[in-house]
Amino acid sequence: MLRSSEGGLAKFGELAADKRVQHAIWISTSTALVASLANAVIGVIIAWVLVRYRFWGRRLLDALVDFPFALPTAVAGLTFSDLFIANANKTGFFAGWWNPVAEGLVGAANWGLTGLGMTALPMNYLHGYGSPFAIVLVLMFTGFPFVVRTVQPVLEDLDAEFEEAAASMGASRWQTFRRVIWPELLPAVLTGMALSFARGVGEYGAVIFVSGQRRGKTEIVPEIINEFLSNRLFSHAAALALILLIISFVVLLGINLLGVYIARRSGRS
């Protein structure tokens, strides 16, 4: 905090107005948010399978959920980069078929965007290496256990009598999930999303290996902070870290307030 205050508000304004910093903040926050949304879907599915079904290998799957916590993030980044990298020296296992698919998807999306008068996406936007998609992938891997571990206890404590009552009244399985189960799960899902976002927005070890470190394209805030530290610009690094902290706090506060509102509304109903 003391380091970040050196230079006053002028330094914060200078950093906030820097186009490079603005884009890095956008990449860090948007990819973390997209990854947390994807983790909400994946986490609920995995938690549902672990709680509601009994099958061979269930305990192994339950243990593997915590694997991203035990695995160094740098190892995850190296693994993803090796699978999706495509250059003159090497083509990763998935890059050979995924990159053409990604270009087709982006081309189709651009056809719709340009028809609406909007800016087209770069053709490598969904490529596995050196793209925002690559960053989202590694953040999904490092963050999905948070959703699983917050939703799983709620599912275990959910009384099956409510589901049986809904079924006896003629509700379909989808109606039962949407009107009985989902309102109970939503606060826990939002909490897991918030934890996943908090983990992803400042992630460095995994992202550095897949982002390509392309300035103005896939550069993240921790990379700029690391550059400042290498150049002994400690006050700049601290100020940028504080900016990212404030942005993260605002997003997390919004998610938590939404969870509280939904929980209170559900309680009143």
- Model-level pTM? 0.83
Residue 3 has pLDDT above 60, yes or no: no
Per-residue model confidence (pLDDT) at position 148: 92
Q: How far apart are CA 18 and CA 23, in angstroms?
A: 9
Residues paired with residue 91 on neighbouring β-strands, in sequence order: 86
Most confident residue range from 114-128, 144-158, 159-173: 144-158
Q: How far apart are CA 152 and CA 51, in angstroms?
A: 7
Mean pLDDT of 251-262: 78
pLDDT in tens, 58-83: 889 888 888 888 888 888 888 887 77
Mean pLDDT of 137-143: 89
Q: Which candidate, 162, 212, 216, 215, places its Cα nearest to that of 184?
A: 162
Per-residue model confidence (pLDDT) at position 9: 61
Residue 4 has pLDDT above 50, yes or no: no
21-53 residues labelled b (16+ CB within 10 A) or e (exposed) = bebbbebbbebbbbbbebbbeebbebbbebbee
Tokens of 224: 């700029």
Per-residue model confidence (pLDDT) at position 108: 73
Residue 127 has pLDDT above 50, yes or no: yes
- Stronger pLDDT, 20 or 108, i.e. the higher one: 20
Where does the pLDDT of residue 157 fall: very low under 50, low under 70, confident under 90, or very high at 90 and above? Answer: confident
The HSE-up count of residue 180 (CA atoms within 13 Å, CB side) is 19
Per-residue model confidence (pLDDT) at position 255: 79
Angle, CA of 261, 33 and 114, to the nearest 5°: 115
Residue 28 has pLDDT above 60, yes or no: yes
Q: What is the DSSP string of 212-264?
A: TT-TTTT--HHHHHHHHHHTT-HHHHHHHHHHHHHHHHHHHHHHHHHHHHHHH
- Provide CB contacts within 8 A for 239, sequence distance 6+: 3, 4, 7, 11, 12, 15
Where does the pLDDT of residue 10 fall: very low under 50, low under 70, confident under 90, or very high at 90 and above? Answer: low
- Stronger pLDDT, 164 or 61, i.e. the higher one: 61
Q: How far apart are CA 252 and CA 245, in angstroms?
A: 10
Q: Which candidate, 68, 38, 66, 225, places its Cα nearest to that of 136?
A: 38
Q: What's the DSSP call for residue 160?
A: H
Q: Which candidate, 39, 245, 12, places its Cα nearest to that of 151?
A: 39
Residue 18: exposed, middle, or buried by beta-carbon count in 10 A (0-12, 13-18, 19+)?
middle
Per-residue model confidence (pLDDT) at position 41: 92
pLDDT in tens, 184-206: 888 889 889 888 998 888 888 88
Locus of tokens 């999306």: 109
Per-residue model confidence (pLDDT) at position 83: 78
Q: Report whether 195 contacts 69 (CB < 8 A).
A: no
Per-residue model confidence (pLDDT) at position 184: 80
Q: Which CATH class is domain 2-53+61-85+129-268?
A: mainly alpha
